[in-house]
Amino acid sequence: MAANREADQSKRRLEVGVERVLIDEVALRARLVEMGTAISAEYVGKDLLLVAVLKGSVLFLADLMRQISIPHEIDFMATSSYGAGATSSGVVRILKDLNKPIEGRHVLIVEDIIDSGNTLAYLMGLLAARNPTSLQIVTLLDKPDRREVDIHVAWTGFSIPNEFVIGYGLDYNERYRNLPYIGVLKPEIYAQSDAGSPVG
């Protein structure tokens, strides 16, 4: 049908700029089943709150929570790092805070990717000061080579090399979030822009 063909073509257009698929849908799904099972076991009988960091982690959250078999709630935070440049500075601005207090609750931060670690180090400090009973991190992706601050990550989906990735929630200039897989962005895409190396 014409409409289907159009949809296919627009999908293909979006994929312009993707150098290669790093983690496909099948691998993502298999890993999320494992992570959901592990998290369910860890928090059984506990008051679990998943705190997702907008916007990159929304697809991960949506799929992960369907693999968590125990009752839980979700909430969202939005942050932006101050300053231009290739890496996040560690000075983080809160664009949206949690809707409810977290004192006495078991909080699990759901992140898309840990790069320098600055964003999460800041968030951990902020949330720890609100006295949750426990505070841990689950991240879909980790770029360990880029770490600047030491943070403990309880669950990591995939450790990846130091390349700029997009898809499955992750963006470059707000685009590519809808790709169903994690792909590597062609370096010439961000080399063209004035900003230099991308900051997600």
Q: 115 touches which of ligand IMP, Mg ion, none (CB within 5 to 8 A by kind)?
A: ligand IMP
Contacts of 132 (CB under 8 A, 6+ apart): 102, 103, 104, 105, 106, 107
Note if 97 is an active site residue. Answer: no
Angle at 175 between CA 174 and CA 176, to 5 degrees: 135
Rg of the chain over all Cα atoms, to the nearest angstrom: 17
Contacts of 146 (CB under 8 A, 6+ apart): 87, 115, 116, 162
Q: Does 67 bind ligand IMP (CB under 6 A)?
A: no
79 binds, among Mg ion, ligand IMP, none (CB under 5 to 8 A by kind): none
170 binds ligand IMP (CB under 6 A): yes
Nearer to Mg ion, 33 or 153 (CB): 153
Count CA within 13 A, CB hemisphere, residue 60. 27
Q: What distance in Å separates the CA atoms of residue 186 and residue 113, rounded to the nearest whole number?
A: 18
Residue 56 as a binder of Mg ion (CB under 5 A): the answer is yes
CB of 50 to Mg ion, least distance (A): 15
* Residue number with CB closer to ligand IMP (43 or 155): 155
169 binds Mg ion (CB under 5 A): no
- 116 binds ligand IMP per the rule CB under 6 A: yes
| Biggest CA pair distance of the chain | 56
Active-site residue, selected from the candidate residues 63, 75, 97, 115: 115
Q: What residues make contact with ligand IMP under the rule CB under 6 A? A: 56, 87-88, 111-119, 164-166, 170, 200
Catalytic residue numbers read 115
Q: What residues make contact with Mg ion under the rule CB under 5 A? A: 56, 112
